[in-house]
Chain A
Amino acid sequence: MHLKIENLVIHYGRIAAVRGVSLHVDTGELVCVTGPNGAGKSSLLLAIAGAIPLTSGSIRLDGREIGGTVPEAIARRGISLVPEGRHIFNRLTVEENLYLGASSRDSRAEVRNDLERIFQQLPILRERAKSLAGSLSGGEQQQLAIARALMSRSQLLLLDEPSLGLAPKIIGQIYEIISDLRRSGLTFLIVEESMTRALDMSDRVYVMASGVIRTSGRSSDLASDENLNDAYFGLTAASPDGSG
């Protein structure tokens, strides 16, 4: 699973949301994209997953172009997006949501096995299997959204702000789940608005603002760069992680 993006440009009407972004993610890596509101982070993930069209540039998965393909085809190529705001199906049960995650797969027996495995990893989902997904708490919904993405057996997971709107304790739980999955060999590209958390959990970080990558590097190197926050959040100065 090698993802390589070159000179990606995305427009909404005449407004450019992403203006020439290049980045790559190698097998087994956990890469974070961080940056202030409106930087274009969500647009980037949506375009990789095929949910919005790209104006120009290329998105290659293991050397093959996937840019401009329909989302259901990209899901079949082994990429799963957990979008910002989770978007679980409120009026379907937890179990139905999970089965939907396996829409790109054929073997029912394998899907049932995977469901059992997910229920073991995330017992709360087993408890609530027959409840309407809309009745879950925010943290449970985030677990469901990630579990649903896992049901596809995708090797590359794109997570858009998995901690959004969750209590600090729950955020810890979600990131523990992510690091467990990582140990099992999955590759991650995660949008995380908090610079601290991004640096903490990732191998590498891209800092994005106004549709371009402002800086990037190994998290261990960037963590000691004292000017990082000033340089990219200084203008807004409102970041809760201003201390880095």
Chain B
Amino acid sequence: MHLVQNLVDALSLGSLYALCALGIGLIFGIMRMINFAYGEYITFGAYALVIPSGSTVAQKFIGDFPIPLMVISIIAVVVLLAIATERIAFRPLRKREATPATLLVSSFAVSYFLQNFILFVHSGRPKSVNILPEFISPLDIIGLHIAIIDIVTVATGFVLVTALWLFLRYTIVGIQMLAAAENFRMARLLGVRADRVIAIAFAITGLLAAVISLLVVAKDGVLDFRMGVPLVIVAFVATVIGGMGSLPGAVLGGYLIGMFSVALQALLPADLRAARDAFLFAAVILVLLFRPHGLIRSRNTIERI
């Protein structure tokens, strides 16, 4: 009984982390840049649910829309934000042949800018907000208490990972993206438009971030201006564990970290549980000692013209 509930928890957290890792992995694959602002895309999507104000009592805004409209609106907001950050903060640097290190610094700048923007508009105090109350109530299946949100998270993870895979494998733009990830300069020499491919990649990460923010807020019911930070760190670690530059690796890394984290929570003696993340990251270091290039090694981090 307990086992099944833990398994659902593990899959749910794993799915969430896998979605986070996809967003980081997709941009890294194409641009060799770790976009730390991805965390703030998630935060921004969450805060878009409520009316901007300094008060701790959140008044719902987009969060009050009917579910389909709410989902579409949050996706639209975050996709626009992602595309805007690419235009303003990354594209001009890219045109000047900036190194990945410069791009990384720029992504930190965007990240802090957005955090402080939210801090300024909404104040730094956490707000509670209830967007999908019906999703938190547990579903009783043969004596098991399983929250609907966990099932929704697992299903969403599965659908989005599959959809992204189909997109990359079976559409022209998707194949251009894979080619750009393998060898960007060669792709451009063949006529693949760099700006277009990168803008679409950012739009996809915006979509992923929007969905993540909805899932997180629906489950936890709390808004915090730093809520995206731990998620982007887990995403980064997951892509490193999976093998930088490999999308299947990123997904695998996300699921592993989520599931391992839930397993630790369930198996550690009560007085050690507070140190769960210490164990988690110790395990990460261990994995990297044995496989410094991650579980799925990608050759294209080196290969360029």
* Residues in A lying within 8 Å of B, measured CB to CB: 46, 49-51, 70-72, 75-76, 80-81, 83, 85, 87, 89-92, 96, 99-105, 148-149, 152
Query: For chain B, which range describes its interface: under 10, 10 to 19, 20 to 34, or 35 or more residues?
Result: 20 to 34
The residue in B186, B187, B191 that gathers the most chain A C-beta atoms within 10 A of its C-beta is: B191
Residues of B within 8 A of A51 (CB): 185, 188-189, 305
Task: Indicate which residue in A71, A96, A149 contacts B185 across the interface (CB closer than 8 Å).
Answer: A71
Given A80-B190, A100-B179, 13 other A-B contacts at CB below 8 A?
Answer: A46-B305, A50-B189, A51-B188, A71-B188, A89-B179, A89-B183, A90-B299, A92-B179, A96-B179, A100-B192, A102-B191, A103-B190, A103-B191
Main DSSP-derived SS at the B contact region: helix
A156 to chain B, nearest CB (A): 13
Residues of B within 8 A of A102 (CB): 191
Residue B182 CB within 8 A of the other chain = yes
**Docked CA distance A100–B186 (Å):** 10
Residues of A within 8 A of B305 (CB): 46, 51, 83, 85, 87
A91 to chain B, nearest CB (A): 6
Lowest 10 CB-CB distances: which A-B pairs, in order?
A104-B191, A75-B191, A103-B191, A71-B188, A87-B186, A103-B192, A71-B189, A89-B182, A72-B188, A103-B190
**Docked CA distance A142–B189 (Å):** 16
* Residues in B lying within 8 Å of A, measured CB to CB: 172, 175-176, 178-179, 182-183, 185-194, 299-300, 305
Ordered by A's residue number, 27 sampled pairs between the chains whose C-beta atoms are within 8 Å are A49-B189, A51-B189, A71-B185, A72-B188, A72-B192, A72-B193, A75-B188, A75-B190, A75-B191, A81-B189, A83-B186, A87-B186, A89-B186, A91-B178, A92-B175, A92-B178, A92-B182, A96-B179, A99-B172, A99-B175, A100-B175, A100-B179, A100-B190, A103-B176, A103-B191, A149-B190, A152-B191
Q: A95's closest neighbor in chain B, by CB?
A: B175
Task: Indicate which residue in B176, B185, B193, B300 contacts A100 across the interface (CB closer than 8 Å).
Answer: B176
The residue in A46, A83, A100, A148 that gathers the most chain B C-beta atoms within 10 A of its C-beta is: A100
CB–CB B182/A152 < 8 A: no
CB–CB B179/A83 < 8 A: no
Residues of A within 8 A of B176 (CB): 100, 103
B215 to chain A, nearest CB (A): 31
**Docked CA distance A103–B196 (Å):** 12
